[in-house]
Amino acid sequence: MRGVQMRRAKAWTSLLLGCACVLGWSQGTQTIRVNGTGSGITLLKPIAEAYRRAHPDVRIDLGKPLGSSGAIKALLAGAVDIAISSKPLGPEDSAKGARLRAYGKTPLALVAEAEVPVADLTTRQLEDVLAGRMTRWPQGTPLRLVLRPEGDSDTQILRAFSPAMNQAMSLAQARPGMLLAVTDPEATVLISRTQGACGASGLASVLGDGFPLKILSFNGVSPTPAALANGTYPFAKDLHVVITARTSEAALAFVDFLYSPQGRALAQTAGVWVTAAAPSGR
């Protein structure tokens, strides 16, 4: 009798496991893998959370930022479904099937460690900081400049401001022993933890990463999406959505949400001025 009961129990267990597998298969979670520039990944956190609440069967994997170039390489290799880039596509990327859609802009904010005793930098002061002529803050605290790599979009944005700024940046890049951050999140961490530090990072990353930083105005203008829109703040990072012909329907639906009224409103709150209209087709 006991043997019969055990066989029945095993049969019921097998049946239940089989049903669970079928149910799990039919209601399986779809994963959308996204990577890109640090500001872009930080921007997507509240948008992805809102999308998941409306689509509980979707999981959005926002990996550690690879940067624009790294994310596009991962996209073309099939390792991610969507890339968020602050750079335009190169001819080789386009030839391999990458498709770029404009999205918006986030201010490239000048930021400093929280105890730095200034709230604004003028053009001349920023040039002096980069060139190494200004090495201390007004109260005497040593000034530690955090740079981005030469090929980074942040470096190129500052270079493009004026010939004098371009020359100052060249001096900064040539100075030995400089602190270097590869991505926006790395920059916000390094600046927040280094006494007297200052540098630049996308506003979306500054607001979303949550590290204690002082956001500096530039020539009296604060780095906000509204200041970008009215042309009073000069430093802006472009944000693009990059997909391929292999991008899944689930991922394309999330892209559509980015351009929707709700997605645009969330982006604005996160520090992004959405400049592009919703795509007319996929």
The least confident of 99-103, 201-205, 239-243, 274-278 is: 274-278
For the stretch 135-181, pLDDT in tens is 999 989 999 999 999 999 999 999 999 999 999 999 999 999 999 99
Q: Is 48 helix (H, G, I), strand (E, B) or coil?
A: helix
Mean pLDDT of the chain: 89
Q: What mean pLDDT comes out for the span 108-120?
A: 97
Characterize the bridge pairing of strands 273-274 and 99-113: antiparallel
Query: Please, what's the b/e burial string for 206-235 (b: 16 or more CB within 10 A of its CB; e: otherwise)?
Result: bbbbebebbbbbbeeebbbbebbeeeebbb
- State how far the Cα of 125 lies from the Cα of 133, in Å rounded to an integer: 9
The pLDDT value recorded for residue 238 is: 95
Pairing of strands 236-243, 82-85: antiparallel
Which residue shows structure tokens 């604004």?
120
In the structure, what pLDDT confidence band is assigned to residue 22 with cuts at 50, 70 and 90?
A: very low
* Token representation of residue 218: 């530039």
Mean pLDDT across 43-65: 94
Bridge partners of 59, per DSSP, are: 31
Percentage of the chain lying above the pLDDT 90 cut = 83
Question: Could you tell me which of 195, 200, 216, 95 has the C-alpha nearest to residue 156?
Answer: 200
Fold classification of 25-105+237-274 is: D-Maltodextrin-Binding Protein; domain 2 (3.40.190)
The neighbouring-strand residues paired with 57 are none
Q: Taking Cα atoms as reference points, which of 208, 244, 213, 205 lies closest to residue 100? A: 244
DSSP 3-state of 275: coil
pLDDT > 90? residue 9: no
* Coil vs helix vs strand at 224: coil
The fold for domain 107-236 equals: D-Maltodextrin-Binding Protein; domain 2 (3.40.190)
Residue 4 has pLDDT above 50, yes or no: no
- Taking residue 123's Cβ as centre, other Cβ atoms within 10 Å add up to 14
Give mean pLDDT, residues 101-118: 96
Classify residue 100 by burial, with Cβ atoms within 10 Å: 0-12, 13-18, 19+. middle
Query: Is the per-residue pLDDT at 27 higher than 60?
Result: no
User: Residue 175: how many CB atoms within 10 A of its CB?
Assistant: 13
Q: Which residues contact 191 (CB under 8 A, 6 or more apart)?
A: 111, 112, 113, 146, 181, 197, 198, 199, 201, 211, 213
Name the segment(s) of the chain with CATH classification 3.40.190.10.
25-105+237-274, 107-236
Question: For residues 7 and 213, what is the distance between their CA atoms, to the nearest angstrom?
Answer: 65
Is residue 20 pLDDT above 80, yes or no? Answer: no
Residue 282 has pLDDT above 70, yes or no: no
* Residue 97 backbone phi and psi in degrees, to 5: 110, 5
